[in-house]
Structure 1
Amino acid sequence: MTTPPPERVVEQFPHLDALRAVGAVAVLTTHTAFWGGEYTDNGTAGRLLARLDVGVALFFVLSGFLLSRAWLQAAADSSPRPETGHYLWKRFLRIVPVYLVAVLAALWFIDANAALTTGDRAAALLLSSSLVDPSFPAGLTHMWSLMVEVHFYLLLPLLMLLATGRRGGLDVRRTCAVLVAMLVVSVWWHLDGALRVGEGRSIDAGQWLPAYLGWFAVGIGLALAQVLLVRGRAGRGTTLLVRLAAQPGVCWSAAGGLLLVASTPVAGPVLLAAPTTGQSLTKNLLYAAVGGLLVLPAVLRQRHADAPATTFDRLLTNRGARHLGLVSYGIFCLHLPLLHLVMWATGWELFAGRGLQIWVLTLVISVIAAEAAYRLVERPALRLKTLHPLRRRGAAPAEKSTAATGSTTR
C-alpha cells in the first residue's frame, strides 16, 4: 500500500480576493464609460476611464501567480507535481458553467445576435470566436480575454515542465529563462507576429495568447519569488521585490503613475482606431508593470502576526471586498449582457452621456446576478471537482495552495 504524500501547507493570500474584485469592477467601469461616451468628453479623466481595461492585466498576473505556484512549490520541495488531468478538470468547472450562462443569455436576448450563423454561435459556445472572427458576438466582446485565459490554462503544464523539468529541485535560472522567453514572444507578437498571422484574414490576432504571455510571466515571476522567499532562498532580485512590497502605497502610486502614462497617445488611441505596433507594445508593457505592482504587496509583503493592520490591509481584507472577489467571475462574465439590458430597458442612447447612471445600474444588477450565479451555478459545479475519473492515485492536487483564499482565476 502506497503512502500518500503529506499535505502541503496552505499559505494565505487574503488580499487577492479583493484584487479580483478590483479587476472585475475596472473592466465593468471601462465598458459603461465607453457606452456613455465618457472617454472623449472628460479630458484626462476620460482617458483614464478608457485605460481601466488594465483590469484584464490584473487578472492575468493573478492567474500566472496562483496557478503556477503548485508546480514551483513541488519542484522546490521535490514533491509530486500537480496532476494535469485533475488541474484541467477544475479549470473547466471554474470557467465553463457561468460562461455558458452568459453566452446563452447574449445569444438569446440581444437583438444584434439574431442574424448570427450556426457557425458563429458554435464558435461563441466553444469560446473560440476570436480565432475565426475579429471579435465575439454582441454582449460577449469581453470574452476574448477569457479565451486567452483558457489557452494559458492549457499551455501552463507545458510551461511548468520547461521551467522545472522532471527532476527534483527548482532551477531558478531555468525558470527565469522560460519567463524571458515568454516576454520575448509577447514583444515579437506585438511588433510582427500578429500582423503575419492576421494578414489577409478577417481576425484580430492581437487578441490571442502570445500577445499576453508577458502578463502571465509577471505573475509566474512573483510566484517564483514567493516560493524562494518562503524557503530561505531569496537572492538579490527577490530581496529588492520584498523591499518594494513592504511599501504598498508606493507600489500603488507607481501603478497609478504608469496608468497615467498609458492614458497618453504613447499607448495608442482611446477609441476604436487601431494602434501602431509600437503603441500596442508600449501599452502592453505598461499594463504588465501596473498589474505586477498592484499584486506585489499582496503576495511578497512580510508582516509580523502582531503588527497593526495598515490601510492597505483594511481595504483589501474586509469581508465585503473579499466577498465581492468571490463573485467577481460572475460580474465579469455577466456585466456586458446586462449592460445591453440596461440600455434597452432605459431607452438611453449610446454615447449620449449618463455615464454615472449607466455605471451604477450595471454594477448593481451585475453584483446581484453574480451572487445568484455563484450560489446556483458556480458553487454546485465546483462540488464536482473531486469526481474527476482520471486523477492518478497519490498525485498532488493542483491549486492546493490557493484553496483557502478562494483566489483562483477570477
Structure 2
Amino acid sequence: MAPHSSAPEDRDVHVPSRAADPRLVLPQVDGRHEALDGIRAVAALMVLVFHVASETGEALAPGVHGGLLASLDLAVPLFFALSGVLLYRPWARAALDGVRGPRARPYLWRRAARVLPAYWVVAVAALLVYAEDEIDSPRHWWEVLTLTFPFNTDPSWFGTGPYGLGQMWSLSVEVSFYLLLPLFGLLLALWARRGRSVDARGTRLLAGLAVMAVLGLAALVPQFHPEPHAYMHTWLPRTMGLFAAGMALAVLSEWAWREPGADGPVRRFCRTVAASPGVCWLLAGGFFVLNATDAAGSRFIGSGDIWTSAVHSLTGIGFAFFLVAPAALAPRPASAPVPLRRAAAWRDGRWMEALLRHRVCQFLARISYGVFLWQFMVLYLWRDFTGQEIYTGSFWLDAVPVTAGTILFAMATHRWVEEPSRRWSHRFFQRGAGAPKV
C-alpha cells in the first residue's frame, strides 16, 4: 500500500543512555526496520493473491480452501497497523517526553510526495484505458486523482472503486489517516499530558488508543442503522482500531526506552513478545482462521451485518497486532540474518528475522507500493488478453503471469517515479529552514 520508510518520520531521535548497550535488548526505534519492511512485503503478496483468487472465483468457492483464500484480505489490516506503528512514533515519543510533537506541514508534504506521484501514474492509466464513459467528466477525474471517490455515495461504478482501481479505497483510508494523524497525535498528547510521570503518560496513551479502537467499532452503527450503507465500509472511522493497534506498538517501543527502573513491566513485555514470534504468529493464525469462517461475514468486501462486521474488525485487529508485534518490539539486529537453510535460523525464534530480512522479502518490500498499485490493472489486462470473464479462469494459471507482470510494473514505477519523488522531497525539506530531516 502507501509507501513509508520503516525509519521514523523524525530521525533526530534522542535515545536515553543505559549502562549496557540498550540496542541489544530494547525495541528498535530509529533507522530502517528491516523486519517491518519484510512484513510489508508479506502484506503486498497477500493482497495480490487475494485479488487474483477473488477475480477467478477461487476465494468465493465454498469450503475451507475458498475461505482461507478469502481471509487473505487481512493484508489490509497489516498495512494499516504498519502505518500506525511507523508514522505515529514521533508523536508517541513527544507525548511520553512531554514535549511538542512534530510539525504537521513538513510531515504532510512528505506524505504527499511519497504517495501521490506513483498513484497518479496508475490512476491516469486506468482512466485512459477503462473509463471511456467517464473520460469527459471533470468530477470523475477529480474524485479519482484526489482519492475522494469512496465518498461518492451514488457512484457510476460497481464495487469498491472505478474499474482497475478497486483496491484504492484502502489507499484513500490511508490518506485520510495521514491527514488526521497530527490531530490524533495532538489529542492523545493533551490527554497524556495530565500524567506526571512517563509511566502515567504511557498508560494514558494506551487508554486513549483503546478508546480509538472502540470508536472504530462504534462506527459500524451508522454504517448499518437505520439501514445499511455499504460505501461506509471504505471510510476511515471503521478502521481506526486497525491503526490504533500499530500506534499502541509505537507507544510501547518508545516507552520501553524511558521506563524508570532497571527492568520494568513494559520492557519485560517487549522483550517477551520479541522473543516469542512463534506464539504470536500462532495467535495471528488463529485470527486468520476465524476470519475465514462465516462468523466474519460473507466473502464480498463490505457485505454482511453489524455483528459479522464487528467480528471481521476484531479479527483484523488481532491478526495485525500479533503478526506485527514481534517485529515492532524486537531490538536492532546485531548482525546479518542467518540464512534459512541453516539450523541456527530455526533456534530461539530467529526464523522470523531470517525470513523477514531475507533479500527476497527486502526486494519485495521496496516495490510493495507498486505491487499494490498495479495489480488490478495487470490482472484486467491479462484477463482481456486471455478472454476470461470475471469469476472464471484458473487461479494458478492467472496468479503466475499476473504476479510477474505486477512485479515488473512495480519495479519500473519504483525506479522512475517513487525514487525520484523521494529524492526530490529529501532535497526540498533539507533546504527548508527548520524542517526535520527525512
| TM-score range normalised by the length of the shorter chain | 0.7 to 0.9
Q: Greater shift after overlay, 386-395 or 251-260?
A: 386-395
Q: Which one of the candidate residues 190, 200, 204 is aligned to 1:174? A: 204
Alignment match, 2:69? 49
CA distance in 2 between counterparts of 1:389 and 1:122 reads 28
| Percent of aligned positions that are identical | 34
Alignment match, 2:174? 149
Instruction: Give the C-alpha shift of residue 176 in structure 1.
Output: 2.1
- Counterparts of 1:375-386 in structure 2 under 5 Å? 375-386=415-426
CA distance in 1 between counterparts of 2:218 and 2:407 reads 38
- Counterparts of 1:216-295 in structure 2 under 5 Å? 216-233=243-260, 236=265, 239-271=268-300, 274-295=303-324
- Counterparts of 1:306-317 in structure 2 under 5 Å? 309=345, 310-317=350-357
Alignment match, 1:161? 186
Unpaired runs of at least 5, structure 1: 401-410
| TM-score normalized by the length of structure 2 | 0.82
- Counterparts of 1:345-360 in structure 2 under 5 Å? 345-360=385-400
Alignment match, 1:88? 108
Give deviations 1:370-398, integer Å, cap 9, x for gaps: 0100000000011121455799743544x
CA contact (8 A) 1:331 1:370 kept: yes
Instruction: Give the C-alpha shift of residue 338 in structure 1.
Output: 1.1
| TM-score normalized by the length of structure 1 | 0.87
Q: Greater shift after overlay, 125-134 or 27-36?
A: 125-134
Q: Greater shift after overlay, 126-135 or 146-155?
A: 126-135
CA contact (8 A) 1:159 1:178 kept: no
Give deviations 1:206-244, integer Å, cap 9, x for gaps: 211000000000000000010011233575466335423
CA contact (8 A) 2:106 2:435 kept: no
| 1:204 counterpart SS class | helix
Instruction: Give the C-alpha shift of residue 259 in structure 1.
Output: 0.8
Alignment match, 1:404? none
Give deviations 1:172-197, integer Å, cap 9, x for gaps: 2331232022112111111x12235x
CA distance in 2 between counterparts of 1:255 and 1:278 reads 21
Alignment match, 1:32? 52
Quick one: which amino acid aligns to residue 174 of structure 1? R
Instruction: Give the C-alpha shift of residue 63 in structure 1.
Output: 0.2
Quick one: which amino acid aligns to residue 304 of structure 2? P
Give deviations 1:38-84, integer Å, cap 9, x for gaps: 02436212111111111110000000000011122233345663221
CA contact (8 A) 1:77 1:169 kept: no
CA distance in 2 between counterparts of 1:283 and 1:7 reads 37
Higher relative contact order (CA 8 A, sep 6+): 1
CA contact (8 A) 2:256 2:266 kept: no
Q: Which one of the candidate residues 143, 158, 165 is aligned to 1:140? A: 165
Alignment match, 2:19? none
CA distance in 1 between counterparts of 2:205 and 2:87 reads 15
Alignment match, 2:133? 115
CA contact (8 A) 2:49 2:399 kept: yes
Quick one: which amino acid aligns to residue 187 of structure 1? L
Give deviations 1:81-115, integer Å, cap 9, x for gaps: 322111001100111011111111111112xx221
CA contact (8 A) 2:231 2:302 kept: no
CA distance in 1 between counterparts of 2:286 and 2:13 reads 42
Quick one: which amino acid aligns to residue 161 of structure 1? L
Give deviations 1:147-196, integer Å, cap 9, x for gaps: 00001001111111111239797512331232022112111111x12235
CA distance in 2 between counterparts of 1:6 and 1:120 reads 42
CA distance in 2 between counterparts of 1:251 and 1:37 reads 31
CA contact (8 A) 1:69 1:227 kept: yes
CA distance in 1 between counterparts of 2:267 and 2:177 reads 25
CA contact (8 A) 1:245 1:251 kept: no
CA contact (8 A) 2:80 2:246 kept: yes
2:370 corresponds to 1:337 = no
Quick one: which amino acid aligns to residue 219 of structure 1? G
| 1:362 counterpart SS class | helix
- Counterparts of 1:95-110 in structure 2 under 5 Å? 95-110=115-130
Give deviations 1:237-265, integer Å, cap 9, x for gaps: 66335423311111112111211111111
CA contact (8 A) 1:86 1:388 kept: no
CA distance in 1 between counterparts of 2:99 and 2:68 reads 45
CA distance in 2 between counterparts of 1:372 and 1:246 reads 38
2:109 corresponds to 1:69 = no
Alignment match, 1:406? none
CA contact (8 A) 2:297 2:312 kept: yes
CA contact (8 A) 2:233 2:302 kept: no
Q: How many residues align?
A: 389
CA contact (8 A) 1:242 1:300 kept: yes
Over 3 Å counting, the alpha-carbon distance change for 1:44 and 1:235 in structure 2 is farther
Quick one: which amino acid aligns to residue 281 of structure 1? A
CA contact (8 A) 2:106 2:436 kept: no
CA contact (8 A) 1:60 1:216 kept: yes
Alignment match, 2:24? none
Over 3 Å counting, the alpha-carbon distance change for 1:235 and 1:142 in structure 2 is farther
